[in-house]
Structure 1
């Protein structure tokens, strides 16, 4: 199908983008990599009167260090995140997860910030952002504000972005020296995750000193597996201990039933995949 007619602007600064959104009102849409937006435009599930293309704003691209954090521009592509040396050193979980996103074509066009702002509960990057306690920097008519990942994801395809705001950058606390793994299950290659598990851990002397575990597609938003984390911290990094801790992965969750899996099966997957992810991360 052909999208409905719309106006198009391509600002070169964040301020111009915010102003364009304010002038267009609630019927405007932000265009990042377009991997999610363009398909829904084609079938007219969305019919904005204005598209604000962020592709020409240089400030929104790139990865840099800022003290104890990595700063990733919202328009940085998955491919750039995937190959970046700073990400591999200080936020390994993000790099490993990005390796699994869709296919090379999507990774070259899709953007890190676009995926987070789209907030698909089956999207792979939401869980590692939550696990690593990332912060989202938003720009709007009233200036800039910072929102923790735990507050940014609100509901299905819904974030804390207010009308007229754009995601500018993501600040990820450095997890230098942490081991990590992302384990997901899908029915066919390159499909959305039925369940995914993002695991980052720090070990000392054969024991797990810190653990960050987050789950994909187990709720309307990504969720932290706090019970698993508590069971792991202070425990020896052995496969037996890890698998026992992973039995807590589905506690407090009530995932939806759809054409891919029902609630009970997703809870089963969460337990199995959590065990696999943590075992792989620590090399047990």
Structure 2
């Protein structure tokens, strides 16, 4: 008995088939970011730096005793010394989260599985941001509690606690998101990491060599708005040294806005060129 001719591609799988959505992309990016060694190494080094430097500074101030002259000033600003080098680790991870896929060619597999480039970038940004924000907030919270217990100083207010933990976590995660966007636009790990480190340090270095009186306004602007100055400003006006730069929550919203603008540029770049 002859079997009827079957048109090619007419096979119907008994397994239910559904269209992919953002949740699938999020699950894929979470699997990737937690299974690569760069994530473990960069975040581990960040935690060691934030904890180690933060507690070392607190121990030195505590040993100095009354000579430190803290008075009623909060000790939470000392967390800056550890979070500054730690943020470089986050910037590195942000770049590698996307640029490493271009370097290895893995991005072709990613975009084959999920042709929507906007969905891929959204998933990468969301997973990275939430991971860094959570780890940074927990780490800075632990450092803040231990510093406050080690050093005799004024009791921080609720807003100071919030800015030193959640505020710093948001700022560092936004800085990492900016790095991810730059990595997506440049598609080169070394170039993007160098660009981000230059963005962090170059304004301060340039300002140090502006001796001319005609450049004084430019020097003050660079000193007040550089990334390290913004990090200091999150801890409060006293920690920022009375500069005219952003203070309190302002640096957080500025960095978040910059990262969203850069992410928009990464969307446009990914959508307008081939892999």
TM-score normalised by length of structure 1: 0.25
Identify, as 1 or 2, the structure richer in strand: 1
Identify, as 1 or 2, the structure richer in helix: 2
User: Which structure has more RCO (C-alpha within 8 Å, separation ≥ 6)?
Assistant: 2
Larger radius of gyration: 2
TM-score normalised by length of structure 2: 0.25
